Amino acid sequence: MTEDANAIGRAELAACLHRITLGEHAALELLYKQTSAKLFGICKRILSDHLAAEDVLQEVFLLVWNKANQFDASRGLSPITWLAAIARNRSLDRLRGRGRAFAPLEAAAEVADARPLSDAHLESQERDQRLQDCLAGLDVRAAECIRAAFFGGQTYQSLAERANMPLGSMKSLIRRGLTRLKLCLEP
Amino acid sequence: MNEDDLNALAGEYVLGLLEGLALDEAQALRATDAGFNAAIAMWERQLLPLLEQVAPIAAPPEVWARIEARTRKRAARAGWLGKFRWRIGFAATGLAVAALAGIMIVPPLLQNQGRQIATLTSTTGGVFIVRERANSLRIIPENVSLPMGKVAELWRILPNRAPQPAGLFTPGQALATSLPGSGVGLELAVSLEPAGGSPTGLPTGPILAEAKITNY
């Protein structure tokens, strides 16, 4: 995605979603042009399988076409985050439907190193930075597992098996991590 | 449950770590516990932006082609409704307009069946009364006038689907049609068609009346 596409503002995407609720097909096409690469990246990250990711991407846009009216800016989510959350949920559903695929933990961990988006997202960048800092302050295994769960659709059982830890220890590790993360993010 | 536990549970929920009984419990909390929902909203606000940092990958062009094929249908249908919705002037074009034989006096029995949920005004005069009962709808024409040799045909339209024929109105009789799922989103339309109904399986004449169920 180019810098231009990254700089697409929140208001512009929200306007696009509004036009979609009115049945404007051109708005759907515009939204697709502006967000499909980002959303496809998310589907691919979670699903690995290329064809499954294509299917889910299609599903996401059909859903948006029919349910754009469910976007509610008042929830505090930006339009792109709302769309990204739909792509993640649908991808996780697909993953669960066909049994779990085990993406390597490293695949999730590398997210932390991803280049930030354009300056247009300064505010969200600051928030992301805080999240990165807070994750970095956790037990390294807890942070890795939290990221792996977020992107991998893993269960405690699968995380415990991968880390070669007893189930109970994995649960305490993550629950402690979440409690510390909350304190760091919203003290 | 103390606040830390509630927050951790909400975090597990948003991460997708819960399954089985734990997931059931979390879903039950979602329905009843405002604090739990606030904690979920907090985790979503904090964690979902991680998704924005995933590197974009261009999707193959076939994906848009498939989305377009599936969505253009609805856009075309919206156009079809839009085209005829405003043809109010139809009745005044000098065509011979005859009352649908029997003048649609609704038998008292029919009137008492179910809850009246809508009254659709026909562009040619008269109304279609929609009653709901036990997951089905009855559409009752009253005083609907039609040009000679024409019939009124009922269509049901589900979201993102082509109109489906749902019967021809005959004098003095209601048409019944089932309510799918919650019913919300179902559109009903009545079009004017040649005797025997639409020859194409899709509406060909102007819309006499239409309504969309948004809530009931």
Q: What is the pLDDT of residues B188-208, one digit of tens each?
A: 888 888 888 888 888 887 778
- Look at residue A152 in the predicted model and tell me its pLDDT: 79
- Look at residue A73 in the predicted model and tell me its pLDDT: 59
Q: Give the CA count within 13 Å in the CB-facing half-sphere of B27.
A: 8
The residue to which tokens 């995605």 are assigned: A1
A156 to chain B, minimum CA–CA distance in Å?
6
CA-CA distances (angstroms) from residue A21 to A18, A30, A64, A89, B69? 5, 14, 9, 21, 18
- Look at residue B11 in the predicted model and tell me its pLDDT: 94
- Look at residue A107 in the predicted model and tell me its pLDDT: 33
Domain final residue pick, A77, A101, A125: A101
From chain A, pick out residues whose CB is under 8 angstroms from the CB of B159.
66
Which residues contact residue A87 at a Cβ distance below 8 angstroms, ignoring those fewer than 6 apart?
A: A39, A42, A43, A56, A57, A60, B51
From chain B, pick out residues whose CB is under 8 angstroms from the CB of A88.
48, 51
- Look at residue A98 in the predicted model and tell me its pLDDT: 47
Q: What is the pLDDT of residues A33-56, one digit of tens each?
A: 999 999 999 999 999 889 999 999
Which residues contact residue B96 at a Cβ distance below 8 angstroms, ignoring those fewer than 6 apart?
A: B147, B148
B62 in contact with chain A, both atoms CB, cutoff 8 A:
yes
From chain A, pick out residues whose CB is under 8 angstroms from the CB of B12.
174-175, 178
CB contact under 8 A, B74 and A155: no
Q: Choose the mutation target among B51, B80, B81, B214 for the interface with A, i.e. most A CBs under 10 Å.
A: B51
Which ipTM value was assigned to this complex? Answer: 0.77
Domain final residue pick, A101, A121, A154: A101
From chain A, pick out residues whose CB is under 8 angstroms from the CB of B15.
146, 149-150, 174
Among the ranges A112-116, B67-71, B172-176, which has the highest mean pLDDT value? B67-71
User: What order of strands is seen across the sheet that includes strand B187-194?
Assistant: B164-168, B150-157, B187-194, B207-212
**Cα–Cα–Cα angle for B37, B42, B48, rounded to 5 degrees:** 115
A165 — phi, psi (to 5°)?
A: -120, 155
* CATH (domain of A64): 1.10.1740.10
- Look at residue A117 in the predicted model and tell me its pLDDT: 35
Give me the mean pLDDT over the B165-169 stretch: 89
Domain final residue pick, A60, A81, A101: A101
- Please check the confidence at residue B83 and state whether its pLDDT lies above 50: no
Helix (H, G, I), strand (E, B) or coil at B140: strand
Residues B9 and B1: their CA atoms lie apart, in Å, by 10
Amino acid residing at A111: V
CB contact under 8 A, A62 and B54: no
B1 in contact with chain A, both atoms CB, cutoff 8 A:
no
CA-CA distances (angstroms) from residue B29 to A92, B16, B33, B80? 22, 16, 5, 45
Task: Please state the three-class secondary structure of B14-52 as a single string.
Answer: HHCCCCHHHHHHHHHHHHHCHHHHHHHHHHHHHHHHHHH
CB contact under 8 A, B71 and A62: yes
A124 to chain B, minimum CA–CA distance in Å?
8
Amino acid residing at B28: A
Do B186 and B212 meet the contact criterion of CB atoms below 8 Å apart? yes
- Please check the confidence at residue B114 and state whether its pLDDT lies above 80: no
- Domains in chain A, number: 2
B25 in contact with chain A, both atoms CB, cutoff 8 A:
no
Chain A residue at shortest CA distance from B11: A178
Q: Domain locations in chain B?
A: 3-53, 73-212
- Please check the confidence at residue A168 and state whether its pLDDT lies above 70: yes
Which tops the pLDDT comparison, A34 or B2? A34
CA-CA distances (angstroms) from residue B28 to A71, B21, B34, B37? 24, 11, 12, 11
- Please check the confidence at residue B21 and state whether its pLDDT lies above 70: yes
Do A90 and A83 meet the contact criterion of CB atoms below 8 Å apart? no
CB contact under 8 A, A128 and B58: no
Do A52 and A94 meet the contact criterion of CB atoms below 8 Å apart? yes
Confidence band (pLDDT; 50, 70, 90) for B116?
low
CA-CA distances (angstroms) from residue B213 to A86, B81, B156, B182, B199? 26, 15, 11, 10, 27
CB contact under 8 A, B45 and A154: no
Task: Identify whether residues A71 and A87 lie together within a single domain.
Answer: yes
From chain A, pick out residues whose CB is under 8 angstroms from the CB of B78.
23
Looking at chain B, the whole-number percentage of residues with pLDDT higher than 70 is 71
- Look at residue B95 in the predicted model and tell me its pLDDT: 25
Task: Identify whether residues A91 and A129 lie together within a single domain.
Answer: no
Which tops the pLDDT comparison, B168 or B123? B168
CA-CA distances (angstroms) from residue B53 to A13, A25, A41, A121, B77? 18, 28, 10, 11, 38
Residues B103 and B215: their CA atoms lie apart, in Å, by 31
Which residues contact residue A91 at a Cβ distance below 8 angstroms, ignoring those fewer than 6 apart?
A: A42, A43, A46, A47, A53, A56, A153
Mean pLDDT of chain B: 73
Chain B residue at shortest CA distance from A170: B17
B35 to chain A, minimum CA–CA distance in Å?
15
Kindly tell me the burial class for residue B135, based on how many C-beta atoms sit within 10 Å of its own C-beta (0-12, 13-18, 19 or more): exposed
Task: Identify whether residues A116 and A184 lie together within a single domain.
Answer: yes
Which residues contact residue B151 at a Cβ distance below 8 angstroms, ignoring those fewer than 6 apart?
A: B168, B169, B192, B193, B194, B195, B196, B197
B195 in contact with chain A, both atoms CB, cutoff 8 A:
no
Closest partner residue to B17 (CB to CB) among A1, A116, A149 is A149
CB contact under 8 A, A88 and B56: no
Range of the domain at A161: 102-187
CB contact under 8 A, B62 and A54: yes
